[in-house]
Copies of this chain bind each other. A is one copy, B any other.
Amino acid sequence: MKFNIALLAGDGIGPEVIDQAVKVSDAVAEKFGHEITWKPALTGAAAIDAVGEPYPDETHDICVASDAVLFGAIGHPRFDNDPSAKVRPEQGLLKMRKKLGLFANVRPTFTFPSLLDKSPLKKERIEGTDLVFLRELTGGIYFGEKGRRDDRETAYDNCVYTREEVQRLAKKGFELAMTRSKKLCCVDKANVLETSRLWRETVQAMEKDYPEVEVSYEFVDAVAMRLVQWPNSYDVLITENLFGDILTDEASVISGSMGLMPSASLGSNIGLFEPIHGSYPQAAGKNIANPMATVLSAAMMFENFGLADEGKAIRDVVNKALNEGIVTEDLSDGGKAYGTNEVGDWLAKNI
């Protein structure tokens, strides 16, 4: 097959980890007889610096003309402590999600047996953890009307959901649950929020279409607790945008493998694949960032094209590298630490 992949490296360590995912994807393409054309495009602070816009129109045009988007990371500290900044890298991310119709963010959290000791949690609490969050990504308080009034003394953010937005996300959740353990948890705050009550009633009404799926409803605060207590009691979780932002980050540290966690954002015919870690500006340019999360995001990309073997080839080579200690300093535990580039080369060569 032939693919065009938009390549949005972004900020901080983004370019370095993206490079490795390209190498590994090219190796997979060669092995399986595919052809990938990479289409680099600007985003984030890098795009603001170059053209004054975090998600320029040319970048969007390149994305929509591609079969998928491989994304690095965005964000730069110089914007974070300036509440009055007019243009922010994050706006680019939100605009991109919206314009590409990426309403479902898929974030798996799983354990690597060789890394169990890295977790802040006790081994017996995390063993076997293998859960997936489906976070709604183009609605809720992120996209509702926001602003100031009363001479800027009052600020507001509106959280809005339609039944249809809940349905399409929940449908993906039910379908995913059917391919796994048939357990679905709907996370909300229905004891307080009207949007959550809409979520809950919508999911309840869909239960009859998936009689095999066992659905539980839990409040977001309770999930924030149980995720730390018994992460391996969860399987598929669906939730709205902001709760998903908080809980997926919380979940990512549980396995101790945060630097290895990939994600996919789906919705339209173009999927976006990115590591869950951020732009980590302190590490930028030092050839120390762990590229594996981005490489595994490429695996999700192949899987989303229906190419399960290609995805598996990548997962296998990552496991092999972990077992053989071909890792960056975050995982080297006093042993030999490889550079970002060297890990990427090794993975590509061993595909």
Contact = CB atoms under 8 A, between A and B. Distances in A.
A157 B217 CA distance: 20
Interface residues on A, range: 35 or more
Interface in A289-344: none
Interface stretch (A16-24, A26-34, A60-68, A244-252): A244-252
Contacts of A153: 162-164
Given A247-B224, A249-B224, A156 B144 contact: yes
Contacts of A284: none
A126 B285 CA distance: 33
A124 B323 CA distance: 26
A201 interface: yes
19 contacts: A75-B191, A79-B191, A80-B219, A94-B192, A120-B228, A122-B122, A146-B193, A146-B195, A148-B198, A156-B160, A157-B158, A157-B159, A158-B158, A220-B245, A221-B245, A224-B247, A225-B250, A228-B250, A243-B246
Interface of A: 75, 79-81, 83-84, 88, 90, 94, 120-122, 125, 141-142, 144, 146-148, 150, 153-164, 189-195, 197-198, 200-201, 204, 217, 219-222, 224-225, 227-230, 242-243, 245-250, 252-254, 258
